[in-house]
Amino acid sequence: MSQIIDKAPSDVPQIDADLRVNGATHRLRLDTRVTLLDALRDHLGLTGAKKGCDQGACGACTVLLDGKRVVSCLALAAQCEEREVTTVEALSQGEQPHPLQDAFARHDAFQCGYCTPGQIMSAVALIAEGRAGSDEDIAEFMSGNICRCGAYPNIRAAVRDAAGG
């Protein structure tokens, strides 16, 4: 019979990590296994990135790492030291929403809204990459972001609008 071994928290290796998130550096003491998603949500209180599948398949936790989109549930926080993490919380300028946030609202590109932060962060990178040329391009390059409500036509319209197309 196999035995379950439960390590006491003191037995889990800890690290000190300097995470640069949304332009500010945060010194955190973390379990070495903590994902970027959990560091953002549980240690920094930034809950915009959502925990969906926790397997990198749904895109609800998408953030930008050095300007590139990543699913934060698959990135270890320790791997993100000395890199710039941008979350959906950093997009608006005070009361002024980011153009993609505005386009999502105008095009009703969300229903339940759970996937919206990940969709928006992916779209920010998509536009920066110059890959928002057509509906087919948008669908292809955002295929890692799942919307269970099926708001894809409105999401594509919002991205196309924000991209100036």
Say what the pTM is. 0.91
Q: What is the C-alpha to C-alpha distance for residues 39 and 1, in angstroms, rounded to an integer?
A: 36
Q: Position of tokens 């945060």?
A: 26
For the chain, state the CA radius of gyration. Answer: 17
With cut-offs at 50, 70 and 90, classify the pLDDT of residue 10.
low
pLDDT in tens, 108-153: 999 999 999 999 999 999 999 999 999 999 999 999 999 999 999 9
Beta pairing class for 84-86 and 68-71: unpaired
pLDDT in tens, 111-121: 999 999 999 99
CB 55 within 8 A of CB 115: no
Phi, psi of 69 (to 5 degrees): -75, 140
Q: What is the C-alpha to C-alpha distance for residues 138 and 30, in angstroms, rounded to an integer?
A: 37
Q: How many CB atoms sit inside 10 A of residue 67's CB?
A: 12
